[in-house]
């Protein structure tokens, strides 16, 4: 060919790149087959391991068996993950026996070793186990892990510290919960639900109060703390929440504070927010009245049925329908007397929804 | 002489294109590897410390339906059994010409519901709204036909909850699918959309609308698509997720923050790729306005869909997908290479334009030139063979890497025989199937260029999985 030089180089490049890709493909497929074989072997080992240990865990409901199999260090993570699940499924004295079993098998020391393994998966398992083992010697390690920039490990460390000694570590965990946006609020809430409600409320109240003292309030931190306040619903939180609602605050903070209201004596805060310029604050105020309001709020709510926001009208109609003393006949009367089409439409919808339940 | 030089240049271009395309996918593969590993570690914590906090946002599941009378009741029944604390189902009957509405009425005891319907997004007229006497969380909107996007918008208008989940009526879910796809919203308050891995349902055992047993299809065409879906989802999407540059959340199953979708104007009704277009638009609007946001991809298989079993249907589907891609990209081209474009504007969109939008054109020209040049003697046997080895070799390597990633993560196909079959098909799909798809994608590109009209509902499904009842 007349264009031999360029073409030859190209052909060679194409051929060798393609051949290398085919060789790589063969390696990858072989890798997949190897992984499948390894997986099968691992599953078989896990099944044998479970078959050996699960009956022992079950026996702990009565007593710890005298003779226990030896626990190999390489099976530490597997043992602990089974042990955590077993422990979470039982209560009372059985838990104590399972903790003793872990100590007798040396699993507690293996957990501490795993904590420094550098393998995130093993660290998570170790942290979960150490929380139940209440091993004081692991406390400094967990305290160091809570400030790592990795959310999974730091969260699990927080969980472990709470399980170890909630009253001592709650303030520290709550502070991190406010500051760390990489800690999902829902997950923190799940952690806090395991703790004493009043202790959680006290720690939250302190964290909120500290932020209210500061000249520059961290809006997002206050909102996160208020979201967590719903876990506690305690009288200890009322002063901080009410203080927030008594002073000018950004709309997201007001809405979050309204969502944390639960005591009927605080209903006045919700009533005042019914005229807030932001629709989502008005929705939060109406929902707060759903919890803390009473029959005396009827006229206020009826007026809001003509609000410009559909959501305000909808939540208002739902709240009205749930007010003590409001019967179906009363709602039908409101509907027939309503001169506002929007109010009538939303009342008709909520009446039908009420029938569906 | 000029012709020969032109051929050499064209060969270099084709070579550079193939190497560039596959290098891009290789990098995505590396990114996907870390994303999947992170996800699996997340699952360890999820198992050890499950989120049952009562803070899960309630979800409105929107099910657009057009001529689905055979499958709609089963689909809705299965969706009603999803494991999730609080959700509602809004079925939108988009002017079906069959008995879809009657099937729903009969099965769920529907009665008219006087809903104060809001038209936050413009939609075709709503003819009626119904609620179920049997399930308080089920409503049906009956509206005039306006297409899938219009039906989804009608559902969003009626949605009560802050998250909306768009589900195809024929999607097969697992009980925990919704929980898994909503999880990223719990982890990051900036999250506005999430999607999950969709897999091929043909061959699987489905009971009560839920997937009971995973198995490979017996027919060739769906088998090829199994490998293709592995590749497309495992690194085509999981790879972009860590960069916050996922450009598509499958219409089969995706969750969106309702207010973000409404603020963006909802689904566009003038494109056949409404799912991709919405996601690209969400990127564009948030990036250009400097609003923080996240769009994430859940690599775990959470939705199963029936793949076409005939060439005719597959051809129509792929042409439609290619057209949707072209429309989605051209409608949001302002984000490409924009100073505020970030990873979507500087990486994902240019990659999609070069290798997915224009890809079929380059590939067909490249293969055409090879075959024609070889036929008339302008390209030697060595050159022809060299390029074929290159094209097939790179394709097989990509499919094999997807297979390896699947084996490292979810190993959904349990039987060793299935893995062997997949390995064989990872090779075979590069010997004709992919080239055929390229031709059909080119057809879709032509439909887009010449404005050929295509509407949803033209693809008929066999719903053969229902036979497994």
Cβ neighbours of residue A251 closer than 8 Å, sequence gap 6 or more: A276, A278, A280, A281
Are the beta carbons of B4 and A10 separated by less than 8 Å? Answer: no
The token pair at B428 is: 């075979």
Query: Do A303 and A297 contact (CB within 8 A), yes or no?
Result: no
Are the beta carbons of B407 and A191 separated by less than 8 Å? Answer: no
Q: pLDDT under 50 in chain A at which residues?
A: 1-6
Q: Is B52 helix (H, G, I), strand (E, B) or coil?
A: coil
Count of all residues that appear for chain A in the document: 357
Are the beta carbons of B50 and A2 separated by less than 8 Å? Answer: no
Residue in A185, A187, A310 nearest the CB of B118: A310
The token pair at B456 is: 């949803």
Q: Which pLDDT score, from 0 to 100, does residue A30 have?
A: 96
Q: Which pLDDT score, from 0 to 100, does residue B1 have?
A: 66
ipTM score assigned to the predicted complex: 0.86
End-to-end CA distance of chain A: 83
Are the beta carbons of A15 and B386 separated by less than 8 Å? Answer: yes
- Cα–Cα distance between A124 and A115 in angstroms, integer? 8
Distance from the Cα of B231 to chain A's closest Cα (Å) equals 14
Q: Which fold has domain A261-357?
A: 1.25.10
Q: Which residues of B are less than 8 Å from A22 in CB distance?
A: 389, 392-393, 396-397
Residue in B44, B51, B388 nearest the CB of A124: B44
| Best CA proximity match to B325, nearest among B440, B229, B172, B166 | B440
Are the beta carbons of B55 and A121 separated by less than 8 Å? Answer: no
Q: Which pLDDT score, from 0 to 100, does residue B48 have?
A: 74
Please report whether residue B276 resides in a domain. Answer: yes
Residue in B136, B188, B393 nearest the CB of A21: B393
Place of tokens 């061959």: B203
Q: Which residues of B are less than 8 Å from A181 in CB distance?
A: 189
Strands B172-173 and B191-200: unpaired
User: In chain A, where are the structural domains located?
Assistant: 54-61+76-135, 146-235, 261-357
Residues in B 161-190 with any Cβ partner in A closer than 8 A: 186-189
Instruction: Count the neighbouring beta carbons within 10 Å of the beta carbon of residue B52.
Output: 12
Distance from the Cα of A350 to chain B's closest Cα (Å) equals 8
Please report whether residue B441 resides in a domain. Answer: no
| Best CA proximity match to B232, nearest among B355, B73, B320 | B355
The token pair at B355 is: 């290798």
Count of all residues that appear for chain B in the document: 469
Q: In what order do the strands lie in the sheet with B253-257?
A: B110-112, B126-132, B138-143, B87-94, B59-65, B163-167, B253-257, B191-200, B294-305, B172-173, B210-213, B205-207
| Best CA proximity match to B422, nearest among A32, A27, A31, A41 | A32
- Across the A/B interface, how many CB contacts are shorter than 8 Å? 188
Distances (CA, A) of A108 to A49, A115, A129: 18, 11, 8
Are the beta carbons of B114 and A345 separated by less than 8 Å? Answer: yes
Are the beta carbons of B113 and A11 separated by less than 8 Å? Answer: no
Q: Which residue of A has its CA nearest to B189?
A: A184
Q: Which pLDDT score, from 0 to 100, does residue B345 have?
A: 97
Residue in B52, B114, B390 nearest the CB of A17: B390
Residue in A29, A36, A155 nearest the CB of B416: A36
Q: Which pLDDT score, from 0 to 100, does residue B357 have?
A: 93
The CATH number given to whatever domain includes residue B219 is: 3.90.550
Q: Which residues of B are less than 8 Å from A6 in CB distance?
A: 8, 12
Q: Which pLDDT score, from 0 to 100, does residue A260 have?
A: 93
Residue in B113, B380, B403 nearest the CB of A29: B403
Please report whether residue B109 resides in a domain. Answer: no
Are the beta carbons of B42 and A152 separated by less than 8 Å? Answer: yes
Q: Which residues of A are less than 8 Å from B401 in CB distance?
A: 28
The domain total for chain B is 1
Q: Which pLDDT score, from 0 to 100, does residue A344 have?
A: 93
- Cα–Cα distance between A110 and B468 in angstroms, integer? 48
Q: Which pLDDT score, from 0 to 100, does residue A216 have?
A: 62
- Cα–Cα distance between A131 and B48 in angstroms, integer? 11
Cβ neighbours of residue B253 closer than 8 Å, sequence gap 6 or more: B165, B166, B167, B168, B171, B173, B177, B181, B195, B196, B198, B302, B303
For the residues of B196-261, what is the DSSP string, one character each?
Answer: EEEEE-TT-EEETTEEEE----SSHHHHHHHHHHHHHHHTTTTTTGGGT------TTEEEEEHHHH
Are the beta carbons of B48 and A125 separated by less than 8 Å? Answer: yes
Residues in B 27-46 with any Cβ partner in A closer than 8 A: 40-42, 44-45
Q: Which pLDDT score, from 0 to 100, does residue A152 have?
A: 86
- Cα–Cα distance between A106 and A70 in angstroms, integer? 9
Residue in B136, B189, B404 nearest the CB of A357: B136
Q: Which residue of A has its CA nearest to B54?
A: A186
Residues in B 377-406 with any Cβ partner in A closer than 8 A: 380, 382-383, 385-394, 396-397, 399-401, 403-404, 406
B235 lies in which domain range?
A: 22-50+170-350
| Best CA proximity match to B94, nearest among B129, B132, B67 | B67
The token pair at B12 is: 């270099």
Whether B426 and chain A come into contact, CB under 8 Å, resolves to yes
CA dihedral B457, B458, B459, B461 (to 10 degrees): 60
Please report whether residue B9 resides in a domain. Answer: no
Q: pLDDT under 50 in chain B at which residues?
A: 457-463, 465-469
Whether B133 and chain A come into contact, CB under 8 Å, resolves to yes
- Cα–Cα distance between B18 and B11 in angstroms, integer? 11
Place of tokens 């509602």: B88
Query: Do B165 and B62 contact (CB within 8 A), yes or no?
Result: yes
Residue in A3, A40, A353 nearest the CB of B5: A3
- Cα–Cα distance between B160 and B59 in angstroms, integer? 8
Whether B3 and chain A come into contact, CB under 8 Å, resolves to no
- Cα–Cα distance between B425 and B427 in angstroms, integer? 5
**Residues A129-167: tens digit of each pLDDT:** 998 998 888 888 888 899 988 888 899 999 999 999 999
């Amino acid at each position: 060919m007349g264009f031999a030089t360029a073409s030859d180089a190209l052909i060679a490049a194409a051929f060798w790149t393609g051949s290398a890709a085919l060789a790589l493909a063969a390696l990858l497929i072989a890798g997949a087959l190897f992984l499948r074989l390894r997986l099968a072997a691992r599953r078989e080992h896990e099944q044998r391991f479970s078959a050996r240990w699960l009956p022992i865990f079950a026996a702990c409901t009565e007593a710890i068996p005298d003779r226990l199999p030896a626990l190999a260090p390489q099976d530490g993570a597997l043992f602990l993950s089974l042990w955590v699940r077993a422990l979470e499924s039982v209560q009372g004295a059985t838990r104590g026996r399972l903790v003793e079993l872990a100590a007798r098998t040396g699993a507690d020391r293996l957990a501490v070793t795993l904590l420094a393994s550098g393998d995130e998966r093993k660290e998570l398992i170790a942290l979960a186990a150490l929380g139940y083992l209440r091993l004081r010697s692991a406390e400094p390690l967990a305290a160091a892990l809570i400030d790592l920039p990795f959310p999974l490990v730091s969260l699990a460390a927080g969980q472990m510290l709470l399980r170890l000694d909630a009253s001592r570590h709650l303030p520290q965990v709550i502070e991190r919960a406010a500051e760390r946006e990489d800690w999902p609020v829902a997950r923190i809430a799940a952690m806090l639900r395991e703790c004493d409600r009043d202790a959680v409320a006290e720690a939250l109240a302190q964290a909120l109060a500290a932020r209210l003292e500061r000249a520059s309030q961290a809006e997002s931190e206050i909102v996160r703390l208020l979201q967590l306040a719903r876990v506690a619903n305690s009288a200890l939180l009322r002063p901080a929440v009410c203080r927030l609602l008594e002073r000018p605050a950004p709309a997201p903070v007001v809405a979050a504070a309204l969502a944390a209201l639960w005591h009927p004596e605080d209903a006045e805060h919700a009533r005042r927010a019914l005229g807030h310029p932001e629709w989502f604050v008005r929705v939060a105020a109406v929902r707060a009245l759903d919890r803390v309001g009473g029959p005396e709020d009827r006229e206020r709510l009826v007026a809001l049925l003509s609000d410009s926001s559909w959501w305000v009208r909808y939540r208002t109609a739902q709240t009205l329908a749930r007010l003590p003393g409001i019967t179906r006949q009363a709602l039908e009367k409101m509907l027939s007397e309503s001169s506002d089409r929007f109010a009538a439409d939303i009342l008709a919808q909520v009446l039908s929804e009420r029938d569906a339940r | 002489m000029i012709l020969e030089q032109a051929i050499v240049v064209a060969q270099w271009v084709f070579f550079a294109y193939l190497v560039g395309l596959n290098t891009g996918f290789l990098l995505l593969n590396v990114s996907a590897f870390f994303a999947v590993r992170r996800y699996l570690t997340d699952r360890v914590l999820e198992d050890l410390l499950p989120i049952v906090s009562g803070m899960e946002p309630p979800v409105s599941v929107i099910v657009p339906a057009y001529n689905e009378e055979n499958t709609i009741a089963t689909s809705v029944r299965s969706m009603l059994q999803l494991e999730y604390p609080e959700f509602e189902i809004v079925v939108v009957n988009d002017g079906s010409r069959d008995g879809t509405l009657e099937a729903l009425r009969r099965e769920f005891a529907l009665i008219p519901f006087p809903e104060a319907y809001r038209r936050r997004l413009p939609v075709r007229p709503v003819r009626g709204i119904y609620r179920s006497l049997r399930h308080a969380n089920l409503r049906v909107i009956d509206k005039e036909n306006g297409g899938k996007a219009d039906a989804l918008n009608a559902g969003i208008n009626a949605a009560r909850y802050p998250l909306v989940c768009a589900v195809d009526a024929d999607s097969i879910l697992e009980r925990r699918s919704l929980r898994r796809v909503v999880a990223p919203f719990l982890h990051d308050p900036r999250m506005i959309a999430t999607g999950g891995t969709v897999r091929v349902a043909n061959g699987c055992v489905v009971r009560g609308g839920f997937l009971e047993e995973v198995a490979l299809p017996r027919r060739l065409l769906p088998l090829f698509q199994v490998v293709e879906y592995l590749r497309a989802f495992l690194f085509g999407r999981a790879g972009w997720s860590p960069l916050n540059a996922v450009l598509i959340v499958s219409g089969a199953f995706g969750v969106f923050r309702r207010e973000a979708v409404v603020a963006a104007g909802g689904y566009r009704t003038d494109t056949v790729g409404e799912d991709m277009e919405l996601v690209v638009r969400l990127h564009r609007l948030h990036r250009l306005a400097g609003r923080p946001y996240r769009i994430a991809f859940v690599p775990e298989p959470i939705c199963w869909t029936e793949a076409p079993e005939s060439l005719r249907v597959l051809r129509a589907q792929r042409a439609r997908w290619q057209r949707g891609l072209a429309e989605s990209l051209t409608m949001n081209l302002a984000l490409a290479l924009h100073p505020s474009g970030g990873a979507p504007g500087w990486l994902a969109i240019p990659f999609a334009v070069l290798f997915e939008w224009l890809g079929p054109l380059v590939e067909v020209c490249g293969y055409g030139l090879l075959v024609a040049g070889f036929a008339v003697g302008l390209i030697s046997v060595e050159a022809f063979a060299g390029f074929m080895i290159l094209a097939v070799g790179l394709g097989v390597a990509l499919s094999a890497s997807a297979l390896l990633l699947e084996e490292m993560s979810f190993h959904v196909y349990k039987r060793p025989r299935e893995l062997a079959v997949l390995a064989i098909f990872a090779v075979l799909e590069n010997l004709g199937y992919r080239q055929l798809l390229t031709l059909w994608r080119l057809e879709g590109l032509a439909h887009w260029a010449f404005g050929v009209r295509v509407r949803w509902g033209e693809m008929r499904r066999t719903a053969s999985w229902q036979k497994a009842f």
